[in-house]
Structure 1
Amino acid sequence: MQALKIGLLGGSFNPAHDGHRRISLAALRLLGLDQVWWLVSPQNPLKSQKGMAGFTERFDAAKAIARHPKIVVSDFEARIGEQRTVRTLAALKKTYPQHKFVWLMGADNMVQLPEWQQWEQIMSLVPIAVFNRPGYTYKALNGKVALKYRRQRLKSGLKGDYRRQLADMRPPAWAFLPETTIELSSTQIRKYRDNAGNTCS
């Protein structure tokens, strides 16, 4: 099997939206990736099950949003019965040893990362690309993760476009992508949808 550079975008995708697609396309371009896999989680352990659509509904909706040959909507976590990122990453590396993976996350998730199970192990498993998110940039770049791994942050000192080298770096390694801005979240979209449904015409 051909060795690929693959970005991993994990989450509930409740619902998937165009922001997921836009940052995936940006990751393909800026990081020189061959594919981006959307890892649709059976259930995010940090999120309530209240208001959570069923897995099949979320998975099918994600496929409808992806609409790109290099964006793969994956049920890997459902197939292995896992919802913890650290275990998912370990399983992916064992299942696909020929590939090089990069974890993709928003700046808001970087702020929350110390709440994740074995978050330092996550940092040691794969390089991480952090996408800009309005209101979270300062917190992310001055938070616990950024400070602990400040020496492992890729900056423009490397020759060429340093971000395209991220997938080849030995973790821990991470890069911040300031020009990739995520404006909407799935939570906001659900609120808009629910409010619209409650509005009488």
Structure 2
Amino acid sequence: MTRRPALHIPGITEIPPSASGMRIGLFGGSFNPMHEGHLLVMEETLRRLQLDALWVLVTPGNPLKDNKALPPLENRVQAARQAIRNPRIRVTGFEAARGFAYSWQTVDFLTTALPDRRFVWIMGADSLADFHRWQRWRDIAARLPIAVYVRPGAARRALASRAATTLDYAQIDEADAAVLADCAPPAWIYLQGRQSTLSSSAIRASRNLD
């Protein structure tokens, strides 16, 4: 199994507290940096999926991207925490402490270690478009429900993607968003709603021009 070296940082790499029966969204990413678009997805999914909490999983590095210029994990976690005001949203870099390199490892661990929580994986439509490139993506879909939130310009590519067509039979109606956390996987939903045109890559590019 591919793993990174474990990285333990007090106050940064602990798993957030939770209780049996909680409905918890998992929203992973590099968050370099966290921006308004991320916050919008978090608030909308918290409300529409009727979640008790949302965990922002700040990854040590995306396996599909070049991470050479990625700021340290601690910096990104702290910056994300400063951007968030909702007490139900918790930011953690716990994947680094476990040496996880891929999302399926995170999903496998959490659903095994905390089987009485009702986890939902949250991603943007741009991520759904590339979901089939994720290592063991079918295993992720088989372990917990997935909520996909619309992203500007990504809808057509996302809904025509390999993952979306493969899992077409498991898609539930948008009107049933409140019951997604109770659905046995595979189950996924595509959520339309408010959108932001901001992206982390565009923000980084604008900073480089300053």
For the criterion TM > 0.5, the same-fold answer is yes
Aligned-partner Cα distance in 1 for 2:37–2:21 = 28
Q: Which residue of 1 aligns with 2:29?
A: 11
**Aligned residue for 1:192?**
206
Specify the alignment match of 1:176 in structure 2.
Answer: 190
Of the three residues 119, 139, 150, the one matched with 2:168 is 150
Match in the other structure for 1:108: 126
The 2-side partners of 1:57 and 1:103 are apart by: 24
Q: Secondary structure at the match of 2:208?
A: helix
Is the 1:131–1:182 contact (alpha carbons within 8 Å) kept by the matching residues of 2?
Answer: no
| Pairs within 5 Å for 1:24-103 | 24-103=42-121
Aligned-pair identity in percent equals 39
Unaligned ranges ≥5, structure 2: 1-18
Q: Residue in 2 aligned with 1:127?
A: 145
Quick one: which amino acid aligns to residue 46 of structure 2?
L
| Partner Cα distance (1:34, 1:83) in 2 | 27
Could you tell me how far apart the structure 2 residues matched to 1:8 and 1:182 are?
20
Q: CA RMSD in A?
A: 1.2
TM-score w.r.t. the length of structure 1 is 0.91
Q: Deviations over 1:75-127 (max 9, x none)?
A: 22012111200011011112222210111101110011111101111111111
Name the CA distance, whole Å, in 2 between partners of 1:83 and 1:165: 30
Q: Distance in 2 between matches of 1:154 and 1:168?
A: 12
Q: Is the 8 A contact 1:37 1:74 kept in 2?
A: yes
Letter in 1 for 2:152: P
Matched-pair contact (CA < 8 Å) for 1:106–1:182 = no
* Residue 180 of structure 1, CA deviation: 4.0
Contact 2:130 2:161 in 1 (8 A): no
